[in-house]
Amino acid sequence: MNILVTGGAGYIGSHTCVALLKAGHCIVVADNLSNSREETLEKVRLITGKDFPFYLVDVAEEKQTDKIFRENKIEGLIHFAGYKSVAESVEKPLDYYYNNLLSTIALCRACIRHGIGKFVFSSSATVYGENAVPLKEEMELKPANPYGATKAMSERILSDTAVAHHGFAVSLLRYFNPVGAHPSGLIGESSRGIPNNLMPCITQVALGKIERLKIFGNDYPTPDGTGVRDYIHVVDLALGHVAAIEKLESGVDVYNLGTGRGTSVMELVNTFQRVTGVMVPYEITGRRPGDIAECYADKRKAERELAWKAERSIEDMCRDAWRFENS
């Protein structure tokens, strides 16, 4: 299958490109490099020994996107491109609604125009908001921040499009907290500017590039007071996308991609220190707007229907993230 990967130079996108190529698929990558680097794609080529076309485009711009479909025989699409910080979305909601919704709409329209029938969407567990854990696919969506709202609305846009166009099949992948890196150490989480996610902050502190880790809140109703999340190895997550697009045939499917186990911020910090032998100085600060206490998956549907399961441990995530930072 020839698959268009939007945001393919990003963290999850690049690992999914590797997984797709290793599974025998062909890919076309589209990315505007606003939060990624083109050299990441060179490393994908190095890991896999395979080449692929890259388009430096903003997929929210329909004329730019249409060119990709005209020049390539696209058979399916995996859509990662979008802004992704909960905290930033609270500060800049209009940027998030504009970018994330327009890109989804533009890609939907392109797929319908060009007869593309398989669309896998990179959604997020933030769509659940303050629901009881473990989070299940059939729960009412209660996004607690603009980022989560853009994901929930994008899901609705895609679902409504699939109802209106019966040849258009959609898989909505709600995943949790990607962590780790490719075991080669060549690709990993490397955003532009100051990192927003926990693991790159931990590794940057361990390297001495940041003085200390900020832990946002230790007064949550959790065992140690710090937020609990379902951390999933990015390689496992990438393999989930391959399973989803290979299985996709008709209608709309919704899957949680997670481990089903919650790990607190302090647990992750302590595991990193134990696995690497490197201390991570930290300080407790106030809670961030839009954060919730606990978030972890009911993973049974994906295991049952996609024959997919997260295999890698928290220790693997810490070890691989540290290898990437030191490579």
- Domain enclosing residue 95, as ranges: 2-181+232-258+299-310
Which residue type is seen at 92? K
Annotated active-site positions, please? 147
Confirm whether 16 is domain-assigned: yes
Confirm whether 127 is domain-assigned: yes
Token couple for 135? 């989070």
The reported pLDDT for the residue numbered 99 is 96
Q: pTM above 0.75? A: yes
The reported pLDDT for the residue numbered 74 is 97
* CATH (domain of 305): 3.40.50.720
The reported pLDDT for the residue numbered 192 is 60
3-state SS assignment for residue 189? coil
The confidence band for 191, taking pLDDT boundaries of 50, 70 and 90, is: low
The alpha carbon of residue 282 and the mean position of all alpha carbons in its chain are separated, in whole angstroms, by: 26
Count: domains in the chain: 1
Confirm whether 198 is domain-assigned: no
Sign of CA dihedral 34, 286, 260, 156: negative
Confirm whether 201 is domain-assigned: no
Confirm whether 99 is domain-assigned: yes
Cis peptide before 134 (omega within 30 of 0): yes
Token couple for 264? 């607190």
The reported pLDDT for the residue numbered 26 is 98
The confidence band for 293, taking pLDDT boundaries of 50, 70 and 90, is: confident
Confirm whether 216 is domain-assigned: no
User: pLDDT averaged over the chain?
Assistant: 94
105 near 160, Cβ under 8 Å? no
Which has more confidence, 63 or 246? 246
Confirm whether 64 is domain-assigned: yes
Distances (CA, A) of 244 to 119, 132, 150, 167: 10, 26, 21, 17
Confirm whether 276 is domain-assigned: no
The reported pLDDT for the residue numbered 288 is 82
